[in-house]
């Protein structure tokens, strides 16, 4: 199951928005995170040269009985002083998360993010 959504993120700047997104991962009690897994975070440039963060996490969703790989692109518009999160969430039945690597979901998400531009 694939879900893609785009939401506003409160924050003072790009780093603040990134930190709020990361802390939000573990605020949902329906999620069980693999032991020793560290959320990914990479600072990247959008096609227009603007800075953004590419974040990723993975967890088991108890209510759905599925594992989930989640990829977030965090951006901040200095023009309107608002952050945004572009999320690709992929749920599947594979408790080893091999589905994520076998299907190169990280590259899939990054390809989708290549099309995003914010007005400057």
CATH code of 2-113, in short, is 3.40.1000
3-state secondary structure labels for all residues of the chain:
CEEEEEEEECCCCHHHHHHHHHHHHCCCCCEECCCCCCCEEEEEECCCCCEEEEEEEEEEECCCCEEEEEEEEEEEECCCCEEEEEEEEEEECCCCCHHHHHCCHHHHHHHHHCCCCCCC
Distance of CA 87 to the CA centre of its chain: 5
pTM value surpassing 0.85: yes
* pLDDT string in tens for the chain (120-residue length): 999 999 999 999 999 999 999 999 999 999 999 999 999 999 999 888 889 999 999 999 999 999 999 999 999 998 889 999 999 999 999 989 999 999 999 999 999 888 777 765
Where in the chain are the domains? Answer: 2-113
């Amino acid at each position: 199951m694939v879900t893609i959504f785009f939401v506003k993120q409160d924050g003072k700047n790009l780093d603040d928005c990134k930190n709020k997104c990361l802390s939000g991962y573990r605020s949902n009690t329906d999620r069980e995170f693999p032991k020793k897994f560290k959320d990914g975070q990479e600072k990247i440039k959008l096609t227009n040269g603007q800075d953004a963060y590419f974040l990723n996490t993975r967890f088991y969703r108890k209510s759905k009985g599925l594992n989930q790989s989640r990829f977030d692109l965090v951006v901040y518009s200095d023009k309107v002083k608002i952050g945004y999160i572009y999320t690709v969430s992929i749920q599947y039945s594979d408790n080893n998360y091999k589905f994520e690597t076998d299907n190169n979901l990280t590259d899939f998400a990054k390809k989708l993010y290549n099309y995003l531009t914010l007005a400057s």
